[in-house]
Amino acid sequence: MASSSTSLGPSPSSTTMSQTRQSPRLEFPGSISDTWLSEKAILITGGASGFGLACVRRWALAKATVIFADISASGPSLQASLRASTKNENIHFVRCDVAVWEDQVRLFKEAVRLSPHGGIDSVIANAGITDRHPTFENPVGLDTESPPPPDLACLDVNLKGVVYTSHLALFWLKRNPGSAPASASADPDALKRDRHLLLVGSIASLGPIPLQAFYGASKHAVLGLFRCLRATSFVHGVRVSFIAPYFIDTPIIPASGRMLLAGAEMGKTEDVVEAMTRFVADPRIVGRAVCVAPRLRTKRLEGGGECLAPVGDPAAEEKAIWEVNADDFETVEVWNRRMIGILNAAEIAKGWIGWASDLFGALKYGLGLGVSRR
């Protein structure tokens, strides 16, 4: 059991970080109290298998109300078994195809109805699939009279579905009865209501996955969505977080993927659950992202950073959860930093007169005046 004094790392120094209400950097491992979860109403998509199901079980044991959605036919039986094994009757399955807008609208309305307090504290956009029959990079038969389009099911679930979930979450979270705008200074012991959106990406959000172009593109897009939302979600009082699991031994990895990963380390479901639970339980974490990797023994370097530690090194520590995209509002890749610097300098050089002139031009454009007609 932990108190609300758990450290979140050094205080932020960036003005932009404070403007977007981003919390300080994370430190893992970090302990939480199950009391921080016990009265929450949590909605998770893709909750009938893999680490989605593991999270449902973990939160059910903490006596949270959990509404888990999935397209799986096993949902009703899972609901019954979870209620029996966790002695928690507030576990509810709702069948939902996340790629169908009407299904998601119904899901959120049902979640609000099932919630003991009539609202949702945390939404986890977890549903995802791989491209089981990737043909995009090997097109054939496109010279026929009516060539078939590529199969976009992976994009429909992983991107469109996440967009639907996020859009609905931003609407319903700020209407959560008894909740207050998210704040990095919140007291987890005192705060029972929350407004939290957790986006589940993948290691494919951070790097390429050969022969899985649609999966990689969709997961890159989820990371992009997170990076945009964390800069603006404070307007709704919503905190947004992101997790990128490495290859985890779950049903999403097909046999072909397992063959490619033969001999390589895989991540642990329990580490993904730990990170997701930390995000859901701790209202002080705002706008942060982690990657869950295989458990590795590393050590810190004198000049900063870490490296794989030799076997038997007494200074080594086991680590699986790493913060990623932590520096968006502090520093950026060299080319971006230089270009942003040039653009900022140009804006300063134009001054207020230039700003007013551009604003007047924008107003004229909006009125249809001064627009080139060809």
Task: Tell me if 204 sits within 8 A of 19, measured CB to CB.
Answer: no
Neighbour-count burial of 356, counting CB atoms closer than 10 A to its CB (0-12 exposed, 13-18 middle, 19+ buried): exposed
Q: How far apart are CA 353 and CA 355, in angstroms?
A: 5
For 109, the token pair is 């309305």
Active site residue: 215, 246, 299, 365, which one? 215
Closest by CA to 100, choosing from 56, 41, 163, 43, is 163
Q: Confirm whether 219 is a catalytic residue.
A: yes
- Count of residues making up the chain: 374
Task: Tell me if 115 sits within 8 A of 93, measured CB to CB.
Answer: no
Q: State yes or no: cis peptide before 29, omega within 30 of 0.
A: yes
Closest by CA to 43, choosing from 108, 118, 116, is 108
Is beta strand 306-308 parallel, antiparallel or unpaired with respect to 289-300? antiparallel
Active site residue: 160, 174, 192, 219, which one? 219
DSSP, res 143: T
Q: How far apart are CA 168 and CA 101, in angstroms?
A: 10
For the four alpha carbons of 95, 134, 151 and 161, in that order, the dihedral sign comes to: positive
What DSSP letter does each residue of 91-132 carry, written as one string? EEEEE--TT-HHHHHHHHHHHHHHSTTSS-SEEEE------S
Q: Confirm whether 365 is a catalytic residue.
A: no
Angle at 368 between CA 362 and CA 369, to 5 degrees: 75
Amino acid (one-letter) located at 240? V
Strand partners, 66: 42, 91
Closest by CA to 123, choosing from 47, 188, 19, 217, is 47
What are the residue numbers of the active site?
215, 219
